Amino acid sequence: MTGQLDSNPEVHEVEDLLTDLARRNRAGQSAGAEVPADLVDADLAAVERDGYVVLPGLLDAEELTSVRASLTELLGPTGRNNFEGHQTQRAYSLLAKTRATDRMVEHPRVLALLDRLLMPNYLLSQLQVIRILPGEDGQLLHADDLFYPIPRPRPALSAATIWAIDPFTEDNGATVVLPGSHRWGQRRPTAEDPRLPAVMPAGSCVFFLGTLWHGGGANTSDAPRMAVTAQYCEPWLRTQEAFTLSVDRNTARAVSPDIRRMIGYNIHPPFVGAVNGMHPSRLLDQEP
């Protein structure tokens, strides 16, 4: 077997193709499999009801200190427009720059939800650090998968996490969510729609569907608020960040199998994501 299509050329139904490239490189269970089913059930019930759930206390104080130090030095200038935030610093393509965010990307509690909500071999779509400085206005409300031109109402095509590296409070820019807005059709938020700040301790994250309307809050405090956001999407969609371009092969070899899969070193059967007719993981067997 060369990594190309199965040596048996007989295909009678389209479904006969679904295991060809993946036969030797099938994705195993993610780290989400270690989370107790009753806990995942409860998290999923909240997501289905409200469009989001807050997962508290996933990182401890020592981890937060290390993450904060690693990410602070990566932060760039403030945003280019009012959506990025004129008083907000960001850094993109974090996988190519640091291992400090890997645990957040692949946290079992997050993967357990993604395993239920998205198709196998879902992808990491975006990973960035965001620090909202004092004086920042509230961000334009938006839903993350609006740029996929498929009419609503519909199931979410993506999901996201926002991790509180600093505590999220009502006055320092905590993410604002509109509960239940994941079920809306084409309508947009109005002033009458209830909105809530995702207040949570440092080390927690808010997990939400790509169809949920939300936005960064205004920072009226005297201190910055740092967060990490990781977004994920269905395996047949184009990601926001092109990780196969920004992450070199040595880094792809160094990260975990879950992250490697999520940055494109797997396929959506039978062919989506193939390289020269081969499963993309074969690229990592080649010399750098």
Which residue, among 199, 200, 169, has the nearest Cα to 58 in the 3D structure? 200
**Segments of the chain scoring below 50 in pLDDT:** 1-6
Taking residue 36's Cβ as centre, other Cβ atoms within 10 Å add up to 9
Give the pair of three-digit tokens for residue 214: 């939300």
Domain spans in the chain, listed from the N-terminal domain onward: 26-266
Give the pair of three-digit tokens for residue 109: 């509690």
Are 121 and 257 contacting, i.e. CB atoms less than 8 angstroms apart?
A: no
> Could you report the per-residue pLDDT of 106-117, keeping only the tens digit for each?
999 999 999 999
CATH of span 26-266:
2.60.120.620
Could you identify the residue written with the tokens 């095509």?
157
Model-level pTM?
Answer: 0.91
> Could you report the per-residue pLDDT of 127-183, keeping only the tens digit for each?
999 999 999 999 999 999 999 999 999 999 999 999 999 999 999 999 999 999 999
Are 27 and 171 contacting, i.e. CB atoms less than 8 angstroms apart?
A: no
Residue 87 CB partners (closer than 8 Å, separation 6+)? 78, 79, 132, 133, 134, 135, 136, 137, 219
